[in-house]
Each structure stands twice: as structure tokens, then as C-alpha cells.
Amino acid sequence: MQQTMNRMPYGMDFRDTATQMEMKDRFHAIIISLKHNIREYATAVTEASCPMVRQTLQRLLYETIAEQAECYQVMSRQGWYPPGATASRDDVMRSIQNNQQAAQEMAQTVAKSGIRSTVGTMYAPVTDRYGYEAVHANGMQHQHAYQPQGSYAMQRNMRGETS
């Protein structure tokens, strides 16, 4: 409400503000319905056994995702969609470290199966705010579980795979 009042241009009366609030509520209902439809389409695609039905539903899913993005852009420009809380750098670092440990376990499990793991080729080593490579909870500096062999795309090319 306060935000809308501050944005109210000169000459706009309370009836305009009420209309704006009403429109904001309508857009919230629209974006909720769009998100609901996206979930419905996604589930329906996975349940479709007829290829023609699946193809149609998949196309309508992508269209609905694009429309939801457009709706969000309109709402954002009007100030009707407050941005989400920003994650701190420490939170991001913690998440990366936790998932790197999981990635190492995954790489070890994959390596046992005889396949060379590709985990870690997509991102640079994690550094802290001073640019030093991150240290794991066990006190050891992070080591890649394998030697990187270039980009993921390059590895796929070497294996003769096409996207």
C-alpha cells in the first residue's frame, strides 16, 4: 500500500489507487494460476502415453512458462512483485561446500563403477572472499576428485557424442 502511494503520480486520486490495488490482486491470482497450470502441464506430459498428446502438452507447457515470465516482468515493473530475500555470500559458500562433499562422494561411487566421473568440470574452484581456495570442514583444502580434462562440451566431443 505504502509502496503504491509513493509511486502515485501527481493528479492520481484514491479511486486510481484502488484500481491499482485491484489490478495487483488480479495479477497475483493470474500468476498463481499460471504456476498451477505449469505444474499441471508438467505432470500431464509425464503421464501422457500418446506421442501426439505428449507433444501438444509439452509445447503448451513451454508456452505457459514463457507467459509466466512475461507476467512476472509486468508485475515487477509495476512494483507488484517484491524481490525475494538475497542469500548472503556465506550462505552460498556453505551450500557450495556441502554440495562439493556430496559431489566427491558421487564421483567416488561413479569411479567404482568403472566410468570416469565428469563431476566438477562445469565450475571453477571455490574461493573465499579473499580469493583463497575454500577449505573443507575436515581442515583439508579442497582437492578435485580427478584431474579436469577440459570443458564438459570438449569431453563430449572427444567421446564422439553430439547434443
Partner 1 sequence: MQALTTKELNYLDDLLGGEALLAKTCAIALPTATQQDVHQFLHHAVAEHQRRHDELMHVLTSHQNAAH
Count the Cβ atoms, other than its own, within 10 Å of residue 121.
16
- Do residues 74 and 27 lie in contact, with contact meaning Cβ atoms separated by under 8 Å? yes
Residue 119 interacts with partner 1 (CB under 8 A)? no
Closer residue to partner 1, CB minimum distance, 60 or 93: 60
**Which of these segments, 24-32, 106-114, 119-127, 134-142, binds partner 1 (CB under 8 A)?**
24-32
Smallest distance from the beta carbon of 162 to partner 1, in angstroms? 31
Asked if residue 104 binds partner 1 (CB under 8 A), the reply is no
Q: Which residues of 73-89 are buried (b: 16+ CB within 10 A; e: fewer)?
A: eebeeeebbeeeeeeee
> For the chain, how far is it from start to end, CA to CA, in angstroms?
49
What distance in Å separates the CA atoms of residue 111 and residue 144, rounded to the nearest whole number? 13
Phi-psi region of 139 (alpha: psi -120 to 50; beta: other; left: phi over 0): left
Smallest gap from residue 85 Cβ to partner 1 (A): 26
Least Cβ distance, residue 83 to partner 1 (angstroms): 19
- Cβ distance 133 to 126 under 8 Å? yes
Answer yes or no whether residue 36 interacts with partner 1 by CB under 8 A.
yes
Question: Binding marks (x or -) toward partner 1, 40..69, rule CB under 8 A?
Answer: xx-xx--xxxx-xx--xx--x--xx--x--
Residue linked to cell 575436515: 138
Contact 4, 21 (CB under 8 A): yes
Q: Which of 3, 16, 92, 127 binds partner 1 (CB under 8 A)?
A: 16
Question: 3, 5, 7, 33: which one contacts partner 1 (CB under 8 A)?
Answer: 33
147 binds partner 1 (CB under 8 A): no
Q: How far apart are CA 91 and CA 80, in angstroms?
A: 27
* Residues found near partner 1 in the complex (CB under 8 A): 16, 19, 22-23, 26-27, 29-30, 33-34, 36-37, 40-41, 43-44, 47-50, 52-53, 56-57, 60, 63-64, 67, 70-71, 74, 77-78
